[in-house]
Structure 1
Amino acid sequence: MNLFVRGFFKSLKQHIEHDFEIMPEKYENSITLHILTKKGVLEICASKRKFFSLTTNTFLIWIFIAAVILFGIASIFLKNQVKFVSKLSIAAERFGKGQEIGDFKPQGADEVRQAGLAFLQMKNRIQRQISERTMMLAGISHDLRTPLTRMKLQLAMMSGEDVEGLNLDIAEMEKMVDGYLAFIKGGGREGSEIIEFSPYIEEIVTKFKKNGCNIDLSIEDNVNVKIRQSDLSRAISNIINNADKYGKTISVIVRKEDETLNIIIMDDGPGIPYLSREDVFRAFYRIDESRNKETGGVGLGMTIARDTVLAHGGDIILDDSPLGGLKVTIIIPI
């Protein structure tokens, strides 16, 4: 009211030359104006309704109500849109990790549905390509095994200086075929299960110890983790195999860091040059270009290991080992 009185006072002062006084509280429902004239004091009373319009207040109330209703409708709409976008994001993450996801019906706005349809089409194309690649490699590997077996039988019945060299060549070819088959298995659909990790890693290390490998295991933290047992065992074994080929001493450390399980494998071998550390994850890449039969392999071990770890939502990091060789850290989310 004081604000109104001040404004009303300024407006009247521009039009009335006489002294005047506004008394808004003299009467309950009216505003009183006293004007000093030559003949006395002129009193003017006017209803407050003449000065205030309820329409304005009503209009503001309706605007507020409409804004609240529109905000609620918009929130529900956005929630539905975000819900499907979140569902699409989870599906993309699971598919990127190699986990099985079923088809779903795209929902939401046109643009969101188009994104969902594009994702499903992409998923089907990738799965078809992977399936065709797997079938091709499996067929080639299977077809190679048959003639190799016949050649081994024929060489077993032969004698001569060249037989030993041929046997070594056949053994090398069999090793290559086994590598291809292991690569195919890496793209399998083994189910994940929650296990206690300590007995799991102890079993892997024990197998290497029985084969004469100088390997030490240190378990700093024992946790339960959800993994594909055969796939991860193959990945860890590939890395330990490499360490055993190029080094004499191997150390395996298992520890928990934040929300991840770290499996650290170190050796005292020659290590891997910094510029070649990313290349070793490429299929069929070998640092030893001569393909020395002493070290063996076809360049798929690290590729299989990385694909497997990535499928678990983790990562592999290569670094210098305190032992003087290579340090491989496998990171698995808990």
Structure 2
Amino acid sequence: MKPMPGPVRPLLRRLASPFRGLLPRGLLGRALLIILLPLLILQGVALQLFYGGHLDVISRRLAGGVAGDIGMVAELLARHPADADKGWIFREAAWRMDLSLAFEPGASIGSPSMRSGWLPILPLEEDLARALEERVRLPYDTDWASDPRSVIIRVQMPDGVLHVEAPRKRLFFGTLYLFFIWLVGSSLLLFAIAALFMKNQVRAIRRLASAAEAFGTGREVGAIKPEGASEVRQAAAAFNQMQGRIRRFVTQRTEVLAGISHDLRTPLTRLRLGLAMLPPGTEEDAAAMTEDVAEMERMIAAYLAFARGESTEQAQPADLSELVRDLAARARRDGASVSVDAPGPLVLPVRADALRRCIGNLLDNAGRHAARIAVGLAESPREDGGRNAGRWVMITVDDDGPGIPEVSREDAFKPFTSFSAGGTGLGLAIARDIARAHGGDIALEGSPLGGLRARIRLPA
């Protein structure tokens, strides 16, 4: 099959764009729409074939039969006007044609009219009127509203008015009710079965999506039960296997890092003891080397925190406003000038210790380069739409320092990239790793204070 020409695709997109807002966004709604549209089209075709073909033919034949009988009665009355003949004609019409007749001598129907009272979707009134014009050929009017069981037809004769009561059953057949009941009932039944089946399938997909989102944000979800269609079961089994592999990898890495930490800290401790036992007169050199050992210990702690990724901590509800205020108070005790703009209690399921390290790293970076720091906490709507539509929690750390050039801001998140002396180059990398483990992210922007703004975005 050849691909569509280039100009055709934009044309199809323009034609379909007005209907995109009408389409359901969820899988359940779209699946039911895929089932419902062909069903409605099929039922519409069946209705058209029945209503426009079979029903129309039957209605014309029934109306023609009633009109023919009335025309025959009118012709007999015109040929045999005697009262004795009229009585015989009326009795025969009631017995053989199921028509109730009465004659009003010298009367006139006035202006012909038609009192409607039948179902508007049926062509019975028009078919009867057409048949009366063809087969009676006398002035007449019809009344569909006065009697629920009969149609009253008045025919203008030369010497009076002929009243005819024709049973509605001669113009209407009961199978029409059965047809509409079958049409509507089968549609509702098929739609209900499809909705129930698709709801079960979508429930399994939603459960898988929720488990994946929870696992991605660090919450313990355990293995999920495979259910639904075979493809969904296969995806659930693959997700369970992925969870197991990731947990084994994290456990092994944590054990290795714990051993490395022990092996590195032991010689550093011996170095500290050795420096403390140096002979008098070497205090200045000992102090410098002690500072180097302390710096090495800080670097090792930072490397291990980055590699470990705070994977052992489980998410628990925590008040972000209180957490931010505590970190700002700690920064003030270290000599920084920090202001906080945070609302009342804002509780979210987070890994509190990891998030403390994330925000603390940003405050430490700002404190090394700026004289003034402002921390803000706010909520904003999410723009991704769909089932995951909700709100974001924004934590901003602004400073009045020299900032980072825009072209270099993304490079600042790379491990071991430092824009100043004295840093390990892991603070921002660890902070972004923690934010993304919570399902959010960190971005660097220009600050209203003139320096750098670090914006943490977390799902609410």
TM-score, normalised to structure 1, is: 0.78
Q: Identify the range of structure 1 (102-111 vs 167-176) with the bigger mean alpha-carbon deviation.
A: 167-176
Is the aligned partner of 1:232 residue 2:355? yes
2:396 aligns with: 264
1:253 aligns with: 375
Q: Helix, strand or coil: the match of 2:373? A: strand
CA distance in 2, matches of 1:6, 1:201: 80
- How many residues are treated as equivalent by the alignment? 324
Is the aligned partner of 1:206 residue 2:329? yes
- Which string of whole-angstrom CA distances, capped at 9 and with x for unpartnered residues, describes residues 155-182 of structure 1? 4445679867655554443222111232
Given that residues 218 and 252 in structure 1 are in contact (C-alpha distance below 8 angstroms), is that contact kept between their aligned partners in structure 2?
yes
Q: Give unpaired runs (5+ residues) of structure 1.
A: 37-42
CA distance in 2, matches of 1:236, 1:313: 16
1:166–1:220 distance in 2 versus 1, CA, 3 Å = closer
Q: Helix, strand or coil: the match of 1:254? A: strand
Larger Rg: 2
CA distance in 2, matches of 1:6, 1:198: 76
- Which string of whole-angstrom CA distances, capped at 9 and with x for unpartnered residues, describes residues 193-212 of structure 1? 4444554333322323223x
1:129–1:44 distance in 2 versus 1, CA, 3 Å = same
Is the aligned partner of 1:303 residue 2:429? yes
CA distance in 2, matches of 1:328, 1:296: 17
CA distance in 2, matches of 1:12, 1:121: 80
Given that residues 21 and 33 in structure 1 are in contact (C-alpha distance below 8 angstroms), is that contact kept between their aligned partners in structure 2?
yes
CA distance in 2, matches of 1:49, 1:175: 98
CA distance in 2, matches of 1:130, 1:23: 88
For residues 116-127 of structure 1, the aligned pairs below 5 Å read 116-127=236-247
- Which string of whole-angstrom CA distances, capped at 9 and with x for unpartnered residues, describes residues 276-304 of structure 1? 2222223333335xxx3xx232x221122
CA distance in 1, matches of 2:321, 2:136: 99
How much does 1:238 deviate?
A: 0.9
For residues 1-334 of structure 1, the aligned pairs below 5 Å read 3-8=123-128, 10=130, 49=169, 51-158=171-278, 167=290, 169-184=292-307, 186-211=309-334, 213-226=335-348, 227-247=350-370, 249-258=371-380, 259-288=391-420, 292=421, 295-297=422-424, 299-334=425-460
Given that residues 239 and 305 in structure 1 are in contact (C-alpha distance below 8 angstroms), is that contact kept between their aligned partners in structure 2?
yes
- Supply the RMSD in Å over aligned alpha carbons: 3.8
1:39 aligns with: none
How much does 1:331 deviate?
A: 3.5
1:217–1:45 distance in 2 versus 1, CA, 3 Å = closer
Letter aligned with residue 297 of structure 2: E
Letter aligned with residue 270 of structure 1: P
1:285–1:51 distance in 2 versus 1, CA, 3 Å = same
How much does 1:131 deviate?
A: 2.8
CA distance in 2, matches of 1:35, 1:234: 99
Given that residues 321 and 377 in structure 2 are in contact (C-alpha distance below 8 angstroms), is that contact kept between their aligned partners in structure 1?
no
1:198–1:11 distance in 2 versus 1, CA, 3 Å = closer
CA distance in 2, matches of 1:20, 1:156: 130
CA distance in 1, matches of 2:166, 2:459: 78
Q: Which has the higher contact order (CA 8 A, sep 6+)?
A: 1
Given that residues 221 and 254 in structure 1 are in contact (C-alpha distance below 8 angstroms), is that contact kept between their aligned partners in structure 2?
no
Q: Identify the range of structure 1 (156-165 vs 112-121) with the bigger mean alpha-carbon deviation.
A: 156-165
- Which string of whole-angstrom CA distances, capped at 9 and with x for unpartnered residues, describes residues 7-34 of structure 1? 35556878x6977979686998777999
CA distance in 2, matches of 1:224, 1:99: 19
Q: Helix, strand or coil: the match of 2:241? A: helix
Q: Identify the range of structure 1 (121-130 vs 184-193) with the bigger mean alpha-carbon deviation.
A: 184-193
Q: Helix, strand or coil: the match of 2:415? A: coil
Given that residues 378 and 394 in structure 2 are in contact (C-alpha distance below 8 angstroms), is that contact kept between their aligned partners in structure 1?
yes
TM-score, normalised to structure 2, is: 0.59
Letter aligned with residue 343 of structure 2: D
- Which string of whole-angstrom CA distances, capped at 9 and with x for unpartnered residues, describes residues 103-129 of structure 1? 111211222222222222222233333
CA distance in 2, matches of 1:279, 1:244: 20
Q: Identify the range of structure 1 (261-270 vs 89-98) with the bigger mean alpha-carbon deviation.
A: 261-270
Q: Helix, strand or coil: the match of 1:190? A: coil
CA distance in 2, matches of 1:155, 1:244: 31
CA distance in 1, matches of 2:147, 2:178: 25
1:20–1:125 distance in 2 versus 1, CA, 3 Å = farther
1:135–1:232 distance in 2 versus 1, CA, 3 Å = same
Q: Give unpaired runs (5+ residues) of structure 2.
A: 1-117, 157-162, 381-390
1:34–1:207 distance in 2 versus 1, CA, 3 Å = closer
- Which string of whole-angstrom CA distances, capped at 9 and with x for unpartnered residues, describes residues 199-227 of structure 1? 4333322323223x231223342223234
How much does 1:102 deviate?
A: 1.1
